[in-house]
Chains A and B, each alone.
Chain A
Amino acid sequence: MRETLATRLALIAPTQGLVLAVLVLPALYLVWLSLHTSSFGIDARWVGLDNYRHILADGYFWRSLKNTAIIVLVVVHVELLLGLLMALLFASGLPMKRVMLAVVLAPYAVSEVAAVVMWRYLFDPEVGHVAYLLAAVGLPALDWAVNPLHGMVLVALLSVWLHLPFTFMILYAARLAVPTELYEAARIDGASGWQAFRRVTFPLIVPAILIAALFRLIFAFRLFSEVWLLTSGGPARSTEVVAVYLYLEAFRYNAFGAAAATGWLMVVGSLLLAAPYLWRLARERAKDAA
């Protein structure tokens, strides 16, 4: 079958067209925008790297970056650990596995807004069920609306809850792909459960762990809705994350140039966070190819 170039182009045109129009061109325009001052009703003026200088000198930016980095690193690694433990549990055999799978996947269906309603209710310092439970074991309630640290803990918990199904599924699928014969061989060789995990399971699911980590690091860095809906970055901008900082710069202070620069720093920041995993992944791929 001979294909004309036109057929190929026509087949990929809808996908590439959407991506080009909504993602690529705006991203390129953003470079231009980040080098200008721009606001409603004012002509853009070239300012070189001033926007970047302005942001890097802004204490609020650094605080939002620090908050983001902490939340992202905690959330992603807690998810990987819990997801891995659950994958191993499911693979070891569970009664009513299909039902349990549906249970684990349920939070995937929940919108950020609905999740915020749930968690605000559970963690209400006055009347929430979790506050009662904490009081019952002698712990103070999470005062998330007032205490920035508590606010961030709640945001992190909420994020883990929403995204654990995704991380779990990738790890579980990888675990299921490990051939059963390998475990039989390990058992015949007298390997303990831990040794079988260490020598058989773990090396084979490393690529999946890296991919799950990469996906989640990059996506978690975009964290916006949970923070916006729970604390709006407050009190006094103390729980702000980078996406919220960008939103405020752009849509509250109308500083589009500064917001654009923040956007680029965001892309760079999420890449830097993901770099160790990306590097490991590239090495794994090279090893496979060799």
Chain B
Amino acid sequence: MKRAAIRAGKALAVALILLWSLAPIALIFAASFKPERDIFAFPPRLAFTPTLEHYAALWARWPDFFVGLGNSLIVTVIATIAAVGASLCSGYAYSRFRGTWLEASAFGLIVVRLIPPIVCTLPLFPAANALGLQDTHAWLALLYATFFVSLGTFVMRSFIDQIPRELDEAAAVDGAGRFATLFRIIAPVAAQGMLAVAVFVIVYAWNEFLFAFIFTSTRAKTAPLVLAEIVGNFDGVEWGVLFAAASVQLAPVLVFVVLMQKYLVAGLTAGATKG
């Protein structure tokens, strides 16, 4: 009796979790393929004739959006390489070396997490203008990388801590320098950690809004920014185009997160609780 009650309770909880997490995503995905008149049918119509008309309309009227996807991809790739590379090096240093000023600089990396992104936009805005970096891919990627080198360093340190120092020593005996050891011996073994850091940066850089909003206008405008423009131009009628754009922006990163779930979890536990 009691066991049946527990099982029913769990089933209800699972149903609620499914509804809460997936319903918003599933509904706009489905709606992006529905003819306009079916979108607001309630209860949601499960049987409908799928149409690509909203995607065609998006393609025809918002060519900017597809340019934005390209920009997002470029920025994401640069930011990921920069953040993972920097985190690998500093994570290795903090794992293998000890020293007062080294510890102090590690502590500093935690303290800077307190600085809100919007606060540093103020001084960086004129700086970017003066350096001619306003509205460039590289600048946006640099900002994104910076906001993850702190977490990334601690994720890498905790992964590299698991690798026995004997490996470093054996490499040194063979005459390898520190950098050769790091890139040829340690990096392949710490690949899981690098993937974990990469997942964070990729999700952040692909989705970020605030910096893109402030620092890009035409050349480097990313997909979330164009999506926000579509929302801003929304006339209350053409929901379909909005859903098509949101679906396209979301689909790749959603698939990516589901596939990389393991690394996301490993990274969160390593970086958040030990940093």
Contacts and interface: CB of A to CB of B under 8 A. Distances in A.
Contacts of B261: 98, 101-102, 105
A18 B86 contact: yes
Nearest to A133: B42
A1 B181 CA distance: 12
A92 B113 CA distance: 34
Nearest to A19: B112
Interface residues of A, number: 85
Interface string B164-180: 00001100100000110
User: Contact size class for B?
Assistant: 35 or more
Interface stretch (A69-77, A167-175, A194-202, A282-290): A167-175
A113 B209 contact: yes
Interface string B95-119: 0010100100100110011111111
Given A15-B109, A106-B258, A259-B122, A208 B273 contact: yes
Interface string A1-45: 101000110111111101101111111011001000000000000
Interface of A: 1, 3, 7-8, 10-16, 18-19, 21-27, 29-30, 33, 86, 89, 92, 94, 98, 100-122, 127, 129, 132, 161, 166, 169-170, 173-174, 207-208, 211-212, 215, 218, 221-222, 224-225, 229, 243, 246-247, 250-251, 256, 259-260, 263-264, 266-267, 270-271
Interface of B: 10, 13-14, 17-18, 20-22, 24-25, 27-28, 31, 40, 42, 44, 82, 85-87, 89-90, 92-94, 97, 99, 102, 105, 108-109, 112-125, 127, 142-143, 145-146, 149-150, 152-153, 168-169, 172, 178-179, 182, 203, 206-210, 214, 224, 227-228, 231, 239, 242-243, 245-246, 249-250, 253-254, 256-258, 261, 264-265, 268-269, 272-273
